[in-house]
Structure 1
């Protein structure tokens, strides 16, 4: 019996399987975990609802969970990132209930989230805290049945920590985003490369010689600044955190307020997790032809409404995923991917080798939570156990055939003694 689904075209399944299997080649850590899950079935009978980007890399995570015994229902976390062939493959080949279509409207997006919650999940896999939010607002009847979940984005973790601080969070959530391997691979290397990939696909612009403004110098912003500088760009960083601003300055980047940076930027990229990072007054200062891109999850970092208000007419699609707004004074500003995540809206997101580590952390954390299902921890935001991060790094090193030293008994004794 086919699993429930709402996808664009079931006929794309074969193409999707090819895409998923291609990604699998670059995901050796998750592949090893999946092989163990097949043998041990640690998730048998567990119901999981997921709100994630429907990509080939995500498909390999869900394959691992499904083959570990879980029942999985998936909704998209971004209307522009859904790969319709991957969605079809998940339904036809991997028995995952998928409710996602590329470029679906807001009402369909919301309905799909409620549909996957309607499966009565015990665990939630979230990407931006949307499922958790709905559980605490529109589907409070499900709260007692949820034993916990994982959140994989900085934006989502910020929302969860605020819920916990206000005493609103009703079940434990694990900040998968905050592991050392995730920050290193996903946020820094993944975001740095895939964001520039999205910008170049959408515009075919040359990065070398351009002035690139990076708003935010967290792990994502650092990766962006490093990659842009490596491709020959002059990089300007904007920040609200004095420590991060100092770090950027000591690494040789120019640091300016956005009000000044906006006037010199050829490409302006937001990566903060906040809203209104690029506002009307910044748009007023930008040079003709400036490119605007967001890599900070939600489509609130660039004030798109303010951009539309300043335009003399509707935006013109000059290239796929690139909309040109002509302002009253004749200047042209180009917005990429509607202000949504540019690496997923205009490209394919992080390389599979990057998502291998992020999704390995998800899989092992789900296994850890499943083992605690009978007696879950108190509602709060928890870190991923260090042992999981160490296991992921160890598996990745083994896959790369990289060997490292181990402490001798004398070294262990020396490091554990205060004398």
Structure 2
């Protein structure tokens, strides 16, 4: 194998050890890999993945490869790549990788192109970038594509918009919408890993501080819960009245961002939308405010507007902490260039929750191969039986048992004759 673009192949041994460590916490994916090794459901199938290149993702790639897939991977975020993992995938698994931590925007898109030069039958996305590039610039690939899987909320939103416009030309399974994905990965994974990223970048005490969480979807719920658990005074900002009401009932203060901006010490966006924190918010933030994103793209924070307000260029005061000095003497700190702080400054979600997310990826790809002839060009939910099987396997691996309905109970639940 000669086609790959990574930082340093000599990092491979350290990467392999960390991949093995993560695998211990991924029993569901391990069981799927054992079956795939025997059945080879992806024999003859080429796959291109655009995912965060982490130890957990490496175990997914190994699982797909064990199932017979010819796999290539590129990063879904310029700052999320773990260079030792990229090296291990190339050196130990002979999987082509196009990803370097800190790569430029131009290199990022060059790597997307390299992954698509693989002429995939199936793509795996975290943000719909591969699907988007195929539809815009690489339409010659459409005839050979069976479909795609999508890992994250932002990508599902983009894909559903494409489907509604009639622009989507092959089926996509919304892995993000599986219960075993968003209830656990988004809530517990994002909650813990975002706090981890903030700690590593700043080493600032959270207890007693005012912590502003933008949004109250599953990722934001998890972060709000963890920040409160660390002793922070949590404020939630929302545009959805139902989610805002839920946040109030969960015990948080809820207000518009413009009201939260002058009193927050920490700000984290988790919405998937643009300019959630904008110029008029920066204008009233207190000196020393720390601003981060844990949603998806770095557009949630309007960093260009902050740069225009600032005096001179930002100063890198710590790794992943850029200080913007304002004319009135206030300092505002942006973490990880506004990219996912849990991956930019930390290691992303714990392997235990990614076990379920990537089990969904693997089984959804298998489902797509088996049902390719009947699937239409639209966004599908993960089949309920796959979701339930992953939950069952996870409980089994944790040594947790649950009750089983008796025949009498099943009959009662399915009847209408018996009443009070």
TM range (shorter): over 0.9
| Map of 1:329 onto structure 2 | 328
Q: Give the Cα separation in 2 of the matches to 1:277 and 1:21.
A: 38
The answer to whether residue 385 in structure 2 is matched with residue 390 in structure 1 is: no
| Map of 2:341 onto structure 1 | 342
Deviation at 1:313, TM superposition (A): 1.0
- Native 8 Å contact 1:324 1:333 kept in 2: yes
The answer to whether residue 234 in structure 2 is matched with residue 235 in structure 1 is: yes
Q: Give the Cα separation in 2 of the matches to 1:275 and 1:346.
A: 22
The partner residue of 2:407 within 406, 409, 412 is 409
- Native 8 Å contact 1:3 1:91 kept in 2: no
- TM-score normalised per structure 1: 0.99
Deviations 1:244-299 (A, max 9, x none): 00000111100000000111100000000111000000000100000000011000
| Map of 1:260 onto structure 2 | 259
- Native 8 Å contact 1:172 1:376 kept in 2: no
| Partner-residue secondary structure (3-state), 2:124 | strand
Please list every run of 5 or more consecutive structure 1 residues that lacks an aligned counterpart in the other structure: none
| Map of 1:183 onto structure 2 | 182
| Map of 2:73 onto structure 1 | 74
| Map of 2:279 onto structure 1 | 280
| Partner-residue secondary structure (3-state), 1:72 | strand
| Partner-residue secondary structure (3-state), 2:291 | strand
Q: Give the Cα separation in 2 of the matches to 1:259 and 1:178.
A: 31
Q: Give the Cα separation in 1 of the matches to 2:371 and 2:197.
A: 40
Q: Give the Cα separation in 2 of the matches to 1:404 and 1:271.
A: 34
| Map of 1:155 onto structure 2 | 154
User: What is the aligned residue count?
Assistant: 417
Deviation at 1:376, TM superposition (A): 4.2
Q: Give the Cα separation in 2 of the matches to 1:41 and 1:3.
A: 25
Deviations 1:292-323 (A, max 9, x none): 00011000000000111111011111111001
Q: Give the Cα separation in 2 of the matches to 1:89 and 1:356.
A: 20
- Native 8 Å contact 1:197 1:347 kept in 2: yes
| Map of 1:95 onto structure 2 | 94
| Map of 1:169 onto structure 2 | 168
Deviation at 1:144, TM superposition (A): 1.3
| Partner-residue secondary structure (3-state), 1:74 | strand
Alignment map for 1:98-117 (pairs within 5 Å): 98-117=97-116
Q: Give the Cα separation in 2 of the matches to 1:202 and 1:376.
A: 48
| Map of 1:47 onto structure 2 | 46
Deviation at 1:122, TM superposition (A): 0.5
| Partner-residue secondary structure (3-state), 2:92 | helix
- Native 8 Å contact 1:294 1:301 kept in 2: yes
| Partner-residue secondary structure (3-state), 1:124 | strand
Deviations 1:186-232 (A, max 9, x none): 10000011001100110001110000000000001100110000110
Displacement over 3 Å in runs of 4+: none
